Structure 1
Amino acid sequence: MPRKIIIAAGGPPHYWPEIDHSEKAVYVGADRGVYHLLETGIIPHYAFGDFDSVTEEEKRKIQQADMMMVEYEKEKNATDLELALDWAVSQRPSSIELIGATGGRLDHALVNIQLMLKGLKNGVKTVMKDVQNEMELFLPGTYEITTSELGEANYISFLAFSSEVKGITLKGFKYPLEMADLHIGSSLCISNELADKSGTYSFTSGILLMVKSRD
């Protein structure tokens, strides 16, 4: 199985999480995300996009870098990040991490969160990270989370990503739940915390979005 793939979209770099330059991952840039990676000292292995969000000088820098570059027409039916993510999912990596996908245009941020469904439906762990948050989608089951996994995050929130999430149970949390139903548009499970060193969350149907956040 290929190693972890990190995809950088074109969101403002000051919203990016801290990048571990020593991590052995395959780096992929989507449009302006390619330039931002180069600016951090990382030459991505692959670049996808129409590159309409970079200047001519920035594009020359991208073209001069030693990477596989896949360029598209500006008029297309998918965003540059979706094209990069489709490729990444097809590689069946150990996991996919999305950065640079928040902090800019709200329409892009919202659709980028929805794009994580591609990983979920194909059985590839897909996580979106920025400087304050980490997001992941889950299918029905039972999952454990520990304080070490939270890192600097203060809060754990759960949101219904489908119209309804049934049978959600939270154990080891400050605000526990037992077989509750969580509806889209409900704030029932916002800003929870672990009460112990670990906790479990489970549900019986629907799609659940978990957000780990820090102030």
Structure 2
Amino acid sequence: MTSSDTRICVVFGAGEYYREIPSVPAGAFVVAADGGLDHAREFGVDVDVAVGDFDSIRGDRPQDDGRTVTLPPEKDDPDLLSALKIGWAHGARAFHIYGALGGRIDHTIANIQLMALLAERGGTGFLHGDGALVTAISDGALEFPAADAAHGGMVSVFSHSDVASDVSETGLKYEIAHVDMSDVRVNGLSNELVPGEPARIEVGRGTLVVTFPLSAPLPRVERFHDVGGDLGRLDTAVSPALVRRGGGHGRDNV
């Protein structure tokens, strides 16, 4: 788990929710990204901020008040990144994101990239999917406490960096120690948690994307050095790269 003094942001996206009921801890900051507002309403969750161009919303558009950020459809940042920036600006460094996996594959890839961005800026994000979570760790470690995870609880590790150096995996069915991984070689797929044993995944330098089962306890995040920076300013402008050819649609971001 992240430390108890880390503020949590829960983000509702417009994608698939599968069978999981979103958990909103007390005191969490809640952001709905575009059509994610429909899902927040369905679960009876009151959001602190709704953000997006609201092109995918089915219900009533939110009122343009202090809790709504309306974006143009022809924008550079996807709605999820805008939601993360808002949560970050409100002090959150741990993010639980629902409705960001499944559906369009380009959205899924983009959202996994955003987990790497969070990790490289000193935050932690968890994408909740179909019985699994996706996170990232940069120059640090994920420590899973011992638990009676069901047999076959898959853990997979991928290098998001060109090269992730000094990678170790201990306490899993397959163990490695101080190896390099690359973004073009798949050698971390389909490992498994061992029931009753703690597990640790660490990278000395670089960023890893890690998937693990929803049934597993959340890992504690250890960082090997302080990380500065942020996610950048909230971009509410029309993309300067837009070429106007008459008509057309926005980037339809989740």
TM-score (norm 1): 0.85
Residue in structure 2 matched with residue 144 of structure 1 by the alignment:
143
How large is the Cα RMSD of the aligned pairs? 2.7
Structure 2 residue identity aligned to 1:39? E
Q: Structure 1 residues 21, 115: closer, same or farther in 2, change over 3 A?
A: closer
Deviations 1:20-78 (A, max 9, x none): 366442211000001111012112111001101124xx124x439x9811112222111
Structure 2 residue identity aligned to 1:41? G
Of stretches 87-96 and 21-30 in structure 1, the one that deviates more from structure 2 is: 21-30
| 1, 6, 10: which one aligns with 1:6 | 10
Secondary structure of the corresponding residue to residue 191 of structure 2: coil
State how far apart, in whole Å, the 2-side matches of 1:151 and 1:24 are.
Answer: 31
- In structure 2, stretches of 5+ residues that fail to align are 216-254
Q: Does 1:204 align with 2:201?
A: no
Q: Does 1:46 align with 2:45?
A: no
Q: Structure 1 residues 81, 214: closer, same or farther in 2, change over 3 A?
A: closer
User: Does structure 1 conserve the Cα–Cα contact (< 8 Å) formed by 2:19 and 2:130?
Assistant: yes
Whose relative contact order is higher, 1 or 2, with alpha carbons under 8 Å and at least 6 apart?
2
State how far apart, in whole Å, the 2-side matches of 1:8 and 1:35 are.
Answer: 9
State how far apart, in whole Å, the 1-side matches of 2:159 and 2:22 are.
Answer: 30
User: Does structure 2 conserve the Cα–Cα contact (< 8 Å) formed by 1:7 and 1:29?
Assistant: yes
Secondary structure of the corresponding residue to residue 7 of structure 2: coil
Q: Post-superposition shift, 1:149?
A: 9.6
Q: Structure 1 residues 73, 153: closer, same or farther in 2, change over 3 A?
A: farther
Q: Structure 1 residues 143, 71: closer, same or farther in 2, change over 3 A?
A: closer
Q: Post-superposition shift, 1:118?
A: 3.3
Residue in structure 1 matched with residue 85 of structure 2 by the alignment:
86
User: Does structure 2 conserve the Cα–Cα contact (< 8 Å) formed by 1:12 and 1:104?
Assistant: yes
User: Does structure 2 conserve the Cα–Cα contact (< 8 Å) formed by 1:161 and 1:208?
Assistant: yes
Residue in structure 2 matched with residue 27 of structure 1 by the alignment:
30
User: Does structure 1 conserve the Cα–Cα contact (< 8 Å) formed by 2:169 and 2:201?
Assistant: yes
Structure 1 residue identity aligned to 2:14? G
The structure with more helix, counted as a fraction of residues: 1
Q: How does 1:103-114 map to 2 (within 5 A)?
A: 103-114=102-113
State how far apart, in whole Å, the 2-side matches of 1:186 and 1:155 are.
Answer: 19
Structure 2 residue identity aligned to 1:3? R
State how far apart, in whole Å, the 1-side matches of 2:126 and 2:66 are.
Answer: 24
User: Does structure 2 conserve the Cα–Cα contact (< 8 Å) formed by 1:47 and 1:70?
Assistant: yes
Q: Structure 1 residues 27, 118: closer, same or farther in 2, change over 3 A?
A: same
Q: Post-superposition shift, 1:112?
A: 0.9
TM-score (norm 2): 0.73
